[in-house]
A and B are shown apart, each in its own frame.
Chain A
Amino acid sequence: MEGLLFAIYVFVLAVFIGFEVINKVPQILHTPLMSGSNAISGITLIGALVVAGRLEGPLSTAIGIAAVALATINVVGGFLVTDRMLQMFRRKPDGER
Protein backbone atom coordinates (compact mmCIF):
# COMPACT_ATOMS: atom_id res chain seq x y z
CA MET A 1 0.00 0.00 0.00
CA GLU A 2 2.87 2.34 0.78
CA GLY A 3 4.11 1.91 -2.79
CA LEU A 4 0.69 2.82 -4.11
CA LEU A 5 0.60 5.99 -2.05
CA PHE A 6 4.01 6.99 -3.34
CA ALA A 7 2.85 6.36 -6.92
CA ILE A 8 -0.19 8.57 -6.33
CA TYR A 9 2.15 11.32 -5.09
CA VAL A 10 4.15 11.14 -8.31
CA PHE A 11 0.99 11.08 -10.42
CA VAL A 12 -0.62 14.10 -8.77
CA LEU A 13 2.53 16.20 -8.96
CA ALA A 14 3.04 15.27 -12.61
CA VAL A 15 -0.54 16.28 -13.43
CA PHE A 16 0.13 19.71 -11.93
CA ILE A 17 3.34 20.08 -13.94
CA GLY A 18 1.37 19.09 -17.04
CA PHE A 19 -1.25 21.76 -16.42
CA GLU A 20 1.40 24.43 -15.86
CA VAL A 21 3.47 23.56 -18.90
CA ILE A 22 0.67 22.92 -21.36
CA ASN A 23 -1.52 25.88 -20.46
CA LYS A 24 1.01 28.10 -22.20
CA VAL A 25 0.81 26.32 -25.56
CA PRO A 26 -0.84 28.68 -28.06
CA GLN A 27 -3.83 27.66 -30.17
CA ILE A 28 -1.83 27.44 -33.39
CA LEU A 29 0.18 24.55 -31.93
CA HIS A 30 -2.69 22.57 -30.43
CA THR A 31 -2.70 19.85 -33.09
CA PRO A 32 1.06 19.16 -32.81
CA LEU A 33 0.68 19.32 -29.04
CA MET A 34 -1.92 16.61 -29.19
CA SER A 35 -0.03 14.32 -31.55
CA GLY A 36 3.25 14.93 -29.72
CA SER A 37 1.81 14.31 -26.27
CA ASN A 38 0.08 11.29 -27.77
CA ALA A 39 3.47 9.90 -28.71
CA ILE A 40 4.58 10.36 -25.10
CA SER A 41 1.59 8.33 -23.93
CA GLY A 42 3.13 5.51 -25.96
CA ILE A 43 5.55 5.18 -23.04
CA THR A 44 3.49 2.07 -22.27
CA LEU A 45 6.00 0.60 -24.73
CA ILE A 46 8.52 0.05 -21.95
CA GLY A 47 6.00 -2.06 -20.05
CA ALA A 48 5.30 -3.95 -23.26
CA LEU A 49 9.02 -4.63 -23.81
CA VAL A 50 9.25 -6.43 -20.48
CA VAL A 51 6.18 -8.55 -21.23
CA ALA A 52 7.51 -9.51 -24.67
CA GLY A 53 10.99 -10.25 -23.36
CA ARG A 54 10.49 -12.20 -20.16
CA LEU A 55 9.42 -15.39 -22.00
CA GLU A 56 6.84 -16.73 -19.58
CA GLY A 57 4.92 -18.79 -22.10
CA PRO A 58 3.62 -18.46 -25.64
CA LEU A 59 0.42 -16.56 -24.68
CA SER A 60 2.33 -14.06 -22.57
CA THR A 61 4.92 -13.49 -25.28
CA ALA A 62 2.25 -13.11 -27.96
CA ILE A 63 0.46 -10.53 -25.81
CA GLY A 64 3.79 -8.81 -25.31
CA ILE A 65 4.62 -8.69 -29.02
CA ALA A 66 1.19 -7.28 -29.85
CA ALA A 67 1.59 -4.66 -27.11
CA VAL A 68 5.06 -3.72 -28.35
CA ALA A 69 3.75 -3.36 -31.90
CA LEU A 70 0.77 -1.18 -30.88
CA ALA A 71 2.84 1.03 -28.59
CA THR A 72 5.59 1.39 -31.19
CA ILE A 73 3.06 2.57 -33.78
CA ASN A 74 1.89 5.09 -31.20
CA VAL A 75 5.41 6.30 -30.42
CA VAL A 76 7.01 6.26 -33.88
CA GLY A 77 3.91 7.47 -35.74
CA GLY A 78 3.22 10.16 -33.14
CA PHE A 79 6.67 11.72 -33.01
CA LEU A 80 7.19 11.54 -36.78
CA VAL A 81 3.84 13.04 -37.73
CA THR A 82 4.35 15.80 -35.17
CA ASP A 83 7.72 16.57 -36.67
CA ARG A 84 6.18 16.62 -40.14
CA MET A 85 3.60 19.16 -38.99
CA LEU A 86 6.02 21.37 -37.08
CA GLN A 87 8.30 21.49 -40.09
CA MET A 88 5.52 23.28 -41.95
CA PHE A 89 5.19 26.10 -39.43
CA ARG A 90 7.34 28.83 -40.84
CA ARG A 91 7.81 32.48 -40.24
CA LYS A 92 7.55 34.73 -43.27
CA PRO A 93 10.64 34.06 -45.40
CA ASP A 94 13.13 36.94 -45.44
CA GLY A 95 12.83 39.48 -48.18
CA GLU A 96 9.32 38.52 -49.22
CA ARG A 97 7.81 41.79 -48.13
Chain B
Amino acid sequence: MNAHAGFTQLVIDAAYLVASVLFILGLKRLSSPATARGGNALGATGMLIAVLATLLDREIVGFSGILVGVLIGSAIGVVAARAVKMTAMPQMVALLNGFGGGASVLVATDEYLRVTGGLTTATVDVALTIVLSVLIGAVTFSGSLVAFGKLQEIVTGRAVTYPLQKTLNALLGAGILVLAARLTVGAPDEMLFWMLIAAALVLGVLLVIPIGGADMPVVISLLNSYSGLAASATGFVLHNNVLIIGGALVGASGIILTQIMCRAMNRSLTNVLFGAFGAVAQTGAGGAAAGDRTVREVSAEDAAILMGYARSVVIVPGYGLAVAQAQHQVRDLANLLEARGVDVKYAIHPVAGRMPGHMNVLLAEANVPYDQLWEMERINPEFERTDVVLVIGANDVVNPAARTQPDSPLYGMPILDVDKAQHVIVMKRSMNPGFAGVDNELFYRENTRMLFGDAKQSLTKLVQEAKAMQEA
Protein backbone atom coordinates (compact mmCIF):
# COMPACT_ATOMS: atom_id res chain seq x y z
CA MET B 1 0.00 0.00 0.00
CA ASN B 2 2.71 2.39 1.02
CA ALA B 3 4.86 1.57 -1.99
CA HIS B 4 1.83 2.09 -4.17
CA ALA B 5 1.10 5.51 -2.67
CA GLY B 6 4.74 6.47 -3.10
CA PHE B 7 4.63 5.47 -6.75
CA THR B 8 1.46 7.47 -7.36
CA GLN B 9 3.06 10.53 -5.81
CA LEU B 10 6.05 10.04 -8.10
CA VAL B 11 3.78 9.95 -11.15
CA ILE B 12 2.03 13.13 -9.98
CA ASP B 13 5.32 14.95 -9.40
CA ALA B 14 6.66 13.86 -12.78
CA ALA B 15 3.48 15.08 -14.46
CA TYR B 16 3.86 18.46 -12.74
CA LEU B 17 7.42 18.70 -14.04
CA VAL B 18 6.20 17.96 -17.57
CA ALA B 19 3.48 20.59 -17.18
CA SER B 20 6.00 23.21 -16.01
CA VAL B 21 8.22 22.50 -19.02
CA LEU B 22 5.24 22.74 -21.37
CA PHE B 23 4.28 26.13 -19.88
CA ILE B 24 7.78 27.47 -20.55
CA LEU B 25 7.96 26.04 -24.07
CA GLY B 26 4.47 27.34 -24.80
CA LEU B 27 5.36 30.87 -23.73
CA LYS B 28 8.54 30.65 -25.75
CA ARG B 29 6.59 29.83 -28.89
CA LEU B 30 4.42 32.88 -28.35
CA SER B 31 7.35 34.95 -29.60
CA SER B 32 6.42 34.52 -33.26
CA PRO B 33 3.00 34.72 -34.93
CA ALA B 34 3.87 31.59 -36.91
CA THR B 35 4.37 29.39 -33.82
CA ALA B 36 2.14 31.19 -31.31
CA ARG B 37 -0.96 29.07 -31.79
CA GLY B 38 1.03 25.91 -31.21
CA GLY B 39 2.57 27.51 -28.15
CA ASN B 40 -0.83 28.25 -26.66
CA ALA B 41 -1.85 24.64 -27.33
CA LEU B 42 1.29 23.45 -25.51
CA GLY B 43 0.34 25.53 -22.49
CA ALA B 44 -3.17 24.10 -22.54
CA THR B 45 -1.75 20.57 -22.80
CA GLY B 46 0.47 21.24 -19.80
CA MET B 47 -2.58 22.37 -17.86
CA LEU B 48 -4.54 19.25 -18.82
CA ILE B 49 -1.67 16.99 -17.74
CA ALA B 50 -1.39 18.81 -14.40
CA VAL B 51 -5.14 18.52 -13.79
CA LEU B 52 -5.34 14.81 -14.68
CA ALA B 53 -2.34 14.03 -12.48
CA THR B 54 -3.91 15.91 -9.57
CA LEU B 55 -6.99 13.70 -9.79
CA LEU B 56 -4.74 10.76 -8.83
CA ASP B 57 -3.95 12.49 -5.54
CA ARG B 58 -4.99 10.21 -2.68
CA GLU B 59 -6.31 13.19 -0.73
CA ILE B 60 -9.11 13.40 -3.28
CA VAL B 61 -11.88 11.03 -2.27
CA GLY B 62 -14.97 12.54 -3.88
CA PHE B 63 -15.31 13.58 -7.49
CA SER B 64 -18.86 14.89 -7.72
CA GLY B 65 -17.99 18.36 -6.38
CA ILE B 66 -15.05 18.59 -8.74
CA LEU B 67 -17.27 17.61 -11.65
CA VAL B 68 -19.84 20.29 -10.77
CA GLY B 69 -17.16 23.00 -10.52
CA VAL B 70 -15.43 21.98 -13.73
CA LEU B 71 -18.70 21.80 -15.66
CA ILE B 72 -19.87 25.20 -14.49
CA GLY B 73 -16.45 26.78 -15.10
CA SER B 74 -16.03 25.21 -18.53
CA ALA B 75 -19.48 26.25 -19.68
CA ILE B 76 -18.91 29.87 -18.66
CA GLY B 77 -15.36 29.85 -20.03
CA VAL B 78 -16.35 28.46 -23.42
CA VAL B 79 -19.29 30.82 -23.87
CA ALA B 80 -17.28 33.87 -22.78
CA ALA B 81 -14.32 33.02 -25.01
CA ARG B 82 -16.56 32.52 -28.04
CA ALA B 83 -18.87 35.48 -27.49
CA VAL B 84 -16.47 38.23 -26.43
CA LYS B 85 -15.87 40.97 -28.99
CA MET B 86 -12.26 41.76 -29.78
CA THR B 87 -12.80 45.36 -28.68
CA ALA B 88 -13.87 43.99 -25.29
CA MET B 89 -10.73 41.91 -24.84
CA PRO B 90 -9.34 44.16 -22.06
CA GLN B 91 -12.49 43.61 -19.98
CA MET B 92 -12.32 39.87 -20.61
CA VAL B 93 -8.70 39.68 -19.48
CA ALA B 94 -9.50 41.80 -16.43
CA LEU B 95 -12.27 39.40 -15.43
CA LEU B 96 -10.12 36.32 -15.99
CA ASN B 97 -7.35 37.89 -13.88
CA GLY B 98 -9.89 38.47 -11.15
CA PHE B 99 -11.21 34.91 -11.24
CA GLY B 100 -7.69 33.54 -10.95
CA GLY B 101 -7.11 35.74 -7.92
CA GLY B 102 -10.47 34.71 -6.44
CA ALA B 103 -9.59 31.03 -6.76
CA SER B 104 -6.32 31.66 -4.90
CA VAL B 105 -8.18 33.34 -2.03
CA LEU B 106 -10.59 30.41 -1.74
CA VAL B 107 -7.89 27.75 -1.75
CA ALA B 108 -5.84 29.60 0.86
CA THR B 109 -8.96 30.20 2.95
CA ASP B 110 -9.67 26.49 3.07
CA GLU B 111 -6.09 25.86 4.18
CA TYR B 112 -6.55 28.36 7.00
CA LEU B 113 -9.83 26.79 8.06
CA ARG B 114 -8.00 23.47 8.35
CA VAL B 115 -5.60 25.20 10.70
CA THR B 116 -8.31 26.73 12.88
CA GLY B 117 -10.28 23.49 12.69
CA GLY B 118 -7.28 21.62 14.09
CA LEU B 119 -6.75 19.51 10.98
CA THR B 120 -3.21 20.83 10.62
CA THR B 121 -1.01 22.94 12.83
CA ALA B 122 0.30 26.20 11.52
CA THR B 123 3.99 26.97 11.78
CA VAL B 124 5.05 30.53 11.05
CA ASP B 125 5.95 29.78 7.44
CA VAL B 126 2.61 28.09 6.76
CA ALA B 127 0.67 30.99 8.25
CA LEU B 128 2.80 33.52 6.38
CA THR B 129 2.24 31.90 2.99
CA ILE B 130 -1.50 31.60 3.61
CA VAL B 131 -1.72 35.27 4.60
CA LEU B 132 0.26 36.36 1.51
CA SER B 133 -1.82 34.19 -0.77
CA VAL B 134 -5.07 35.62 0.58
CA LEU B 135 -3.77 39.19 0.40
CA ILE B 136 -2.50 39.08 -3.18
CA GLY B 137 -5.47 37.04 -4.35
CA ALA B 138 -8.05 39.35 -2.79
CA VAL B 139 -6.42 42.53 -4.12
CA THR B 140 -6.26 40.92 -7.58
CA PHE B 141 -9.89 39.85 -7.36
CA SER B 142 -11.50 43.12 -6.31
CA GLY B 143 -9.03 45.29 -8.27
CA SER B 144 -9.77 43.35 -11.44
CA LEU B 145 -13.50 43.65 -10.94
CA VAL B 146 -13.16 47.44 -10.65
CA ALA B 147 -10.94 47.50 -13.75
CA PHE B 148 -13.58 45.43 -15.54
CA GLY B 149 -16.26 47.87 -14.41
CA LYS B 150 -14.28 50.84 -15.67
CA LEU B 151 -13.54 49.26 -19.04
CA GLN B 152 -17.12 48.12 -19.45
CA GLU B 153 -18.20 51.61 -18.36
CA ILE B 154 -20.31 50.30 -15.49
CA VAL B 155 -18.10 52.37 -13.20
CA THR B 156 -16.92 55.81 -14.29
CA GLY B 157 -13.76 55.69 -16.39
CA ARG B 158 -12.51 58.88 -14.78
CA ALA B 159 -10.06 58.87 -11.94
CA VAL B 160 -12.12 58.88 -8.75
CA THR B 161 -10.59 61.09 -6.10
CA TYR B 162 -11.87 62.26 -2.74
CA PRO B 163 -10.48 64.09 0.27
CA LEU B 164 -8.03 62.25 2.54
CA GLN B 165 -7.61 59.51 -0.10
CA LYS B 166 -3.92 59.04 0.63
CA THR B 167 -4.47 59.00 4.37
CA LEU B 168 -7.28 56.49 4.09
CA ASN B 169 -5.21 54.16 1.90
CA ALA B 170 -2.24 54.46 4.24
CA LEU B 171 -4.44 53.63 7.25
CA LEU B 172 -5.91 50.63 5.47
CA GLY B 173 -2.44 49.47 4.43
CA ALA B 174 -1.19 49.78 8.00
CA GLY B 175 -4.23 47.90 9.31
CA ILE B 176 -3.59 45.07 6.85
CA LEU B 177 0.06 44.87 7.90
CA VAL B 178 -0.91 44.60 11.58
CA LEU B 179 -3.53 41.92 10.84
CA ALA B 180 -1.10 40.00 8.64
CA ALA B 181 1.64 40.11 11.26
CA ARG B 182 -0.73 39.04 14.01
CA LEU B 183 -2.06 36.11 11.95
CA THR B 184 1.45 35.02 11.00
CA VAL B 185 3.00 34.86 14.47
CA GLY B 186 -0.01 34.67 16.82
CA ALA B 187 -2.46 31.88 17.54
CA PRO B 188 -4.90 31.04 14.71
CA ASP B 189 -7.96 33.29 14.77
CA GLU B 190 -10.77 32.88 12.29
CA MET B 191 -12.35 36.28 12.96
CA LEU B 192 -9.12 38.16 12.25
CA PHE B 193 -8.67 36.08 9.12
CA TRP B 194 -12.05 37.16 7.73
CA MET B 195 -11.16 40.76 8.59
CA LEU B 196 -7.93 40.42 6.60
CA ILE B 197 -9.82 39.19 3.54
CA ALA B 198 -12.33 42.03 3.81
CA ALA B 199 -9.58 44.64 4.21
CA ALA B 200 -7.64 43.24 1.24
CA LEU B 201 -10.78 43.32 -0.91
CA VAL B 202 -11.36 46.97 -0.01
CA LEU B 203 -7.70 47.75 -0.73
CA GLY B 204 -8.02 46.28 -4.24
CA VAL B 205 -10.96 48.58 -4.94
CA LEU B 206 -9.25 51.67 -3.52
CA LEU B 207 -6.07 51.03 -5.51
CA VAL B 208 -7.77 50.84 -8.90
CA ILE B 209 -10.58 53.36 -8.50
CA PRO B 210 -8.33 56.48 -8.66
CA ILE B 211 -6.78 55.37 -11.97
CA GLY B 212 -8.22 56.91 -15.12
CA GLY B 213 -9.47 54.99 -18.16
CA ALA B 214 -6.50 55.98 -20.31
CA ASP B 215 -4.12 54.26 -17.89
CA MET B 216 -5.99 50.95 -17.96
CA PRO B 217 -3.34 49.21 -20.14
CA VAL B 218 -0.92 49.60 -17.24
CA VAL B 219 -3.45 48.45 -14.65
CA ILE B 220 -4.45 45.32 -16.56
CA SER B 221 -0.81 44.41 -17.08
CA LEU B 222 -0.14 44.89 -13.39
CA LEU B 223 -3.19 42.86 -12.35
CA ASN B 224 -2.04 40.18 -14.77
CA SER B 225 1.20 40.08 -12.86
CA TYR B 226 -0.66 39.93 -9.53
CA SER B 227 -2.80 37.01 -10.72
CA GLY B 228 0.42 35.13 -11.40
CA LEU B 229 1.86 36.03 -8.01
CA ALA B 230 -1.38 34.91 -6.37
CA ALA B 231 -1.03 31.50 -8.03
CA SER B 232 2.60 31.33 -6.90
CA ALA B 233 1.63 32.21 -3.34
CA THR B 234 -0.93 29.41 -3.38
CA GLY B 235 1.88 27.15 -4.57
CA PHE B 236 3.88 28.15 -1.47
CA VAL B 237 0.90 27.24 0.72
CA LEU B 238 0.40 23.84 -0.90
CA HIS B 239 4.14 23.14 -1.40
CA ASN B 240 3.38 22.67 -5.06
CA ASN B 241 6.10 23.57 -7.55
CA VAL B 242 4.00 23.65 -10.69
CA LEU B 243 1.85 26.37 -9.10
CA ILE B 244 4.94 28.29 -8.05
CA ILE B 245 6.50 28.02 -11.52
CA GLY B 246 3.34 28.71 -13.52
CA GLY B 247 2.54 31.70 -11.32
CA ALA B 248 6.08 33.06 -11.47
CA LEU B 249 6.07 32.94 -15.27
CA VAL B 250 2.85 34.94 -15.39
CA GLY B 251 4.12 37.33 -12.73
CA ALA B 252 7.22 38.02 -14.83
CA SER B 253 5.17 38.42 -17.99
CA GLY B 254 2.84 40.93 -16.35
CA ILE B 255 5.73 42.96 -14.99
CA ILE B 256 7.42 43.13 -18.39
CA LEU B 257 4.19 44.30 -20.03
CA THR B 258 3.65 46.85 -17.26
CA GLN B 259 7.13 48.28 -17.87
CA ILE B 260 6.58 48.44 -21.63
CA MET B 261 3.27 50.27 -21.18
CA CYS B 262 4.76 52.75 -18.72
CA ARG B 263 7.68 53.48 -21.02
CA ALA B 264 5.35 53.99 -24.00
CA MET B 265 3.31 56.47 -21.98
CA ASN B 266 6.37 58.20 -20.62
CA ARG B 267 5.19 57.65 -17.04
CA SER B 268 6.57 55.92 -14.03
CA LEU B 269 4.52 53.16 -12.44
CA THR B 270 4.23 55.25 -9.27
CA ASN B 271 2.85 58.11 -11.31
CA VAL B 272 0.24 55.89 -12.96
CA LEU B 273 -0.83 54.28 -9.69
CA PHE B 274 -0.87 57.35 -7.48
CA GLY B 275 -0.74 60.23 -10.00
CA ALA B 276 -4.47 60.94 -9.85
CA PHE B 277 -4.21 62.41 -6.36
CA GLY B 278 -3.83 66.02 -7.44
CA ALA B 279 -3.61 65.62 -11.22
CA VAL B 280 -6.73 67.71 -11.80
CA ALA B 281 -4.83 71.01 -11.83
CA GLN B 282 -2.53 69.95 -14.68
CA THR B 283 -5.09 69.34 -17.37
CA GLY B 284 -5.76 72.88 -18.48
CA ALA B 285 -2.12 73.83 -18.93
CA GLY B 286 -1.25 72.83 -22.51
CA GLY B 287 -4.48 73.72 -24.29
CA ALA B 288 -4.17 77.50 -24.46
CA ALA B 289 -1.88 77.73 -27.49
CA ALA B 290 -4.52 76.90 -30.11
CA GLY B 291 -5.57 80.54 -30.49
CA ASP B 292 -5.91 81.94 -33.99
CA ARG B 293 -3.91 79.37 -35.93
CA THR B 294 -5.76 77.71 -38.76
CA VAL B 295 -6.00 74.14 -39.91
CA ARG B 296 -6.37 73.10 -43.53
CA GLU B 297 -9.34 70.88 -44.27
CA VAL B 298 -9.48 68.29 -46.99
CA SER B 299 -12.44 66.60 -48.66
CA ALA B 300 -12.72 62.81 -48.82
CA GLU B 301 -12.36 63.02 -52.59
CA ASP B 302 -9.07 64.92 -52.48
CA ALA B 303 -7.77 62.69 -49.70
CA ALA B 304 -8.53 59.61 -51.79
CA ILE B 305 -6.75 61.11 -54.79
CA LEU B 306 -3.73 62.00 -52.67
CA MET B 307 -3.45 58.44 -51.41
CA GLY B 308 -4.38 56.82 -54.71
CA TYR B 309 -1.44 58.42 -56.50
CA ALA B 310 1.05 57.90 -53.68
CA ARG B 311 3.77 55.28 -53.78
CA SER B 312 3.59 54.58 -50.08
CA VAL B 313 0.88 55.10 -47.49
CA VAL B 314 1.23 54.48 -43.77
CA ILE B 315 -1.96 54.14 -41.73
CA VAL B 316 -1.80 55.13 -38.05
CA PRO B 317 -4.80 53.67 -36.21
CA GLY B 318 -5.69 54.95 -32.75
CA TYR B 319 -8.31 53.88 -30.30
CA GLY B 320 -10.84 56.16 -32.05
CA LEU B 321 -10.76 53.65 -34.89
CA ALA B 322 -11.72 50.80 -32.60
CA VAL B 323 -14.43 52.87 -30.93
CA ALA B 324 -15.95 53.55 -34.35
CA GLN B 325 -15.60 49.81 -35.21
CA ALA B 326 -14.11 50.88 -38.52
CA GLN B 327 -11.28 48.34 -38.85
CA HIS B 328 -12.97 46.65 -41.79
CA GLN B 329 -13.38 49.92 -43.70
CA VAL B 330 -9.67 50.59 -43.19
CA ARG B 331 -8.88 47.19 -44.58
CA ASP B 332 -11.12 47.84 -47.63
CA LEU B 333 -9.36 51.14 -48.26
CA ALA B 334 -5.95 49.49 -47.95
CA ASN B 335 -7.01 46.76 -50.39
CA LEU B 336 -8.11 49.31 -52.98
CA LEU B 337 -4.86 51.26 -52.58
CA GLU B 338 -2.78 48.10 -52.87
CA ALA B 339 -4.66 47.15 -56.03
CA ARG B 340 -3.38 50.46 -57.48
CA GLY B 341 0.18 49.48 -56.56
CA VAL B 342 0.44 51.63 -53.44
CA ASP B 343 2.61 50.20 -50.68
CA VAL B 344 0.46 50.15 -47.51
CA LYS B 345 1.73 49.67 -43.96
CA TYR B 346 0.20 50.14 -40.53
CA ALA B 347 2.15 51.91 -37.80
CA ILE B 348 1.17 50.69 -34.35
CA HIS B 349 2.08 52.67 -31.25
CA PRO B 350 2.54 50.48 -28.16
CA VAL B 351 -0.38 52.14 -26.36
CA ALA B 352 -2.80 52.11 -29.30
CA GLY B 353 -5.89 50.46 -27.86
CA ARG B 354 -6.76 49.64 -24.30
CA MET B 355 -4.32 46.89 -23.50
CA PRO B 356 -0.87 45.93 -24.74
CA GLY B 357 -1.06 44.81 -28.38
CA HIS B 358 -4.80 45.45 -28.57
CA MET B 359 -4.72 47.31 -31.91
CA ASN B 360 -2.85 44.45 -33.56
CA VAL B 361 -5.62 42.05 -32.58
CA LEU B 362 -8.30 44.42 -33.85
CA LEU B 363 -6.56 44.74 -37.22
CA ALA B 364 -5.86 41.02 -37.42
CA GLU B 365 -9.57 40.48 -36.90
CA ALA B 366 -10.19 42.68 -39.95
CA ASN B 367 -7.88 40.35 -41.92
CA VAL B 368 -4.94 42.70 -42.05
CA PRO B 369 -1.90 40.43 -42.54
CA TYR B 370 0.52 40.70 -39.62
CA ASP B 371 3.54 41.45 -41.80
CA GLN B 372 1.90 44.81 -42.58
CA LEU B 373 1.74 45.71 -38.88
CA TRP B 374 4.86 47.71 -38.06
CA GLU B 375 6.04 48.48 -34.54
CA MET B 376 7.04 52.02 -33.64
CA GLU B 377 10.82 51.48 -33.63
CA ARG B 378 10.69 49.83 -37.02
CA ILE B 379 8.38 52.28 -38.77
CA ASN B 380 9.82 55.56 -37.51
CA PRO B 381 12.82 55.64 -39.90
CA GLU B 382 10.38 54.91 -42.76
CA PHE B 383 8.28 58.07 -42.42
CA GLU B 384 10.82 60.25 -44.26
CA ARG B 385 10.30 58.07 -47.32
CA THR B 386 6.51 57.94 -46.96
CA ASP B 387 4.25 59.92 -49.29
CA VAL B 388 1.05 59.96 -47.24
CA VAL B 389 0.30 59.16 -43.62
CA LEU B 390 -3.33 58.61 -42.67
CA VAL B 391 -3.90 59.19 -38.96
CA ILE B 392 -7.21 57.74 -37.75
CA GLY B 393 -8.40 58.67 -34.28
CA ALA B 394 -4.90 59.00 -32.82
CA ASN B 395 -3.64 62.21 -31.25
CA ASP B 396 -1.09 62.22 -28.44
CA VAL B 397 0.99 59.43 -29.99
CA VAL B 398 1.65 61.56 -33.09
CA ASN B 399 2.21 64.89 -31.32
CA PRO B 400 5.64 66.28 -32.29
CA ALA B 401 5.67 68.30 -29.05
CA ALA B 402 6.86 65.07 -27.41
CA ARG B 403 10.14 65.55 -29.31
CA THR B 404 10.42 69.32 -29.46
CA GLN B 405 8.79 71.08 -26.48
CA PRO B 406 10.46 70.40 -23.14
CA ASP B 407 7.61 72.18 -21.32
CA SER B 408 4.90 69.92 -22.78
CA PRO B 409 3.45 67.22 -20.52
CA LEU B 410 4.04 64.82 -23.41
CA TYR B 411 7.74 65.68 -23.70
CA GLY B 412 9.90 62.56 -23.83
CA MET B 413 7.07 60.21 -24.73
CA PRO B 414 8.04 57.99 -27.66
CA ILE B 415 5.86 58.93 -30.65
CA LEU B 416 5.31 57.97 -34.25
CA ASP B 417 7.19 60.57 -36.32
CA VAL B 418 4.39 61.05 -38.85
CA ASP B 419 5.24 64.75 -39.30
CA LYS B 420 8.32 63.67 -41.28
CA ALA B 421 6.21 62.28 -44.10
CA GLN B 422 5.41 64.24 -47.28
CA HIS B 423 1.71 64.56 -46.48
CA VAL B 424 -0.31 63.85 -43.38
CA ILE B 425 -4.07 63.38 -43.40
CA VAL B 426 -5.60 63.45 -39.92
CA MET B 427 -9.06 61.99 -39.50
CA LYS B 428 -10.66 63.41 -36.42
CA ARG B 429 -14.10 64.01 -35.01
CA SER B 430 -13.36 67.57 -33.92
CA MET B 431 -10.50 69.73 -32.72
CA ASN B 432 -10.77 68.44 -29.15
CA PRO B 433 -7.41 67.66 -27.59
CA GLY B 434 -6.40 64.06 -26.70
CA PHE B 435 -6.28 62.26 -23.37
CA ALA B 436 -3.40 64.39 -22.16
CA GLY B 437 -5.40 67.56 -22.89
CA VAL B 438 -2.54 68.93 -24.97
CA ASP B 439 -2.91 70.86 -28.20
CA ASN B 440 -1.31 69.13 -31.21
CA GLU B 441 1.18 71.09 -33.30
CA LEU B 442 0.84 68.52 -36.07
CA PHE B 443 -2.64 69.73 -37.04
CA TYR B 444 -1.39 73.22 -37.97
CA ARG B 445 1.54 72.13 -40.09
CA GLU B 446 1.94 73.06 -43.74
CA ASN B 447 1.82 69.43 -44.89
CA THR B 448 -1.14 68.38 -42.71
CA ARG B 449 -4.74 68.16 -43.90
CA MET B 450 -7.68 67.56 -41.59
CA LEU B 451 -10.56 65.28 -42.55
CA PHE B 452 -13.24 65.98 -39.96
CA GLY B 453 -16.08 63.62 -39.09
CA ASP B 454 -16.94 60.23 -37.67
CA ALA B 455 -14.15 57.77 -38.48
CA LYS B 456 -16.42 55.12 -39.93
CA GLN B 457 -18.38 57.54 -42.13
CA SER B 458 -15.24 59.25 -43.39
CA LEU B 459 -13.60 55.93 -44.16
CA THR B 460 -16.69 54.71 -46.00
CA LYS B 461 -16.54 57.87 -48.10
CA LEU B 462 -12.81 57.34 -48.74
CA VAL B 463 -13.51 53.77 -49.85
CA GLN B 464 -16.24 55.00 -52.24
CA GLU B 465 -13.90 57.63 -53.70
CA ALA B 466 -11.09 55.10 -54.07
CA LYS B 467 -13.51 52.73 -55.86
CA ALA B 468 -14.58 55.53 -58.17
CA MET B 469 -10.93 56.17 -59.02
CA GLN B 470 -10.51 52.47 -59.78
CA GLU B 471 -13.41 52.49 -62.21
CA ALA B 472 -12.52 55.75 -63.89
Q: Which residues of B contact A (CB under 8 A)?
A: 19, 23-24, 26-28, 30-34, 36-37, 39-41, 43-44, 46-47, 50-51, 54-55, 57, 59-63, 65-66, 68-70, 72-74, 76-78, 80-82, 84, 86, 89, 92-93, 96-97, 99-100, 102-104, 106-107, 109-110, 113-114, 117, 119, 123, 125, 129, 220-221, 224, 227-228, 230-232, 234-254, 256-257, 260, 338, 348, 350, 355-358, 360-361, 364-365, 367, 369-373, 375-376
Contacts and interface: CB of A to CB of B under 8 A. Distances in A.
Interface string A1-40: 1011001001100111111011111111111111111111
Interface of A: 1, 3-4, 7, 10-11, 14-19, 21-57, 59-61, 63-93, 97
Contacts of A68: 65-66, 68-70, 73, 103
Contacts of B82: 80, 84
Nearest to A93: B369
Contact of B236 (A4, A17, A42): A4
A63 B369 contact: no
Given A32-B36, A81-B92, A52 B66 contact: yes
Given A11-B236, A52-B66, A64-B66, 10 more contacts: A7-B236, A17-B249, A21-B28, A27-B360, A38-B227, A42-B100, A46-B54, A47-B104, A70-B106, A81-B80
B248 A15 contact: yes
A27 B375 contact: yes
Mostly, the B contact residues are helix
B224 A23 contact: no
The 6 closest A-B pairs by CB, nearest first: A72-B73, A18-B252, A68-B69, A30-B357, A76-B77, A53-B60
Contact of B360 (A21, A28, A41, A67): A28
B244 A82 contact: no
A83 B41 contact: yes
B170 to A, nearest CB: 29
18 contacts: A10-B241, A22-B252, A24-B31, A26-B32, A29-B30, A30-B355, A32-B361, A33-B357, A38-B93, A41-B230, A41-B246, A44-B107, A44-B230, A47-B104, A47-B235, A47-B243, A51-B107, A67-B110
B370 A14 contact: no
A75 B77 contact: yes
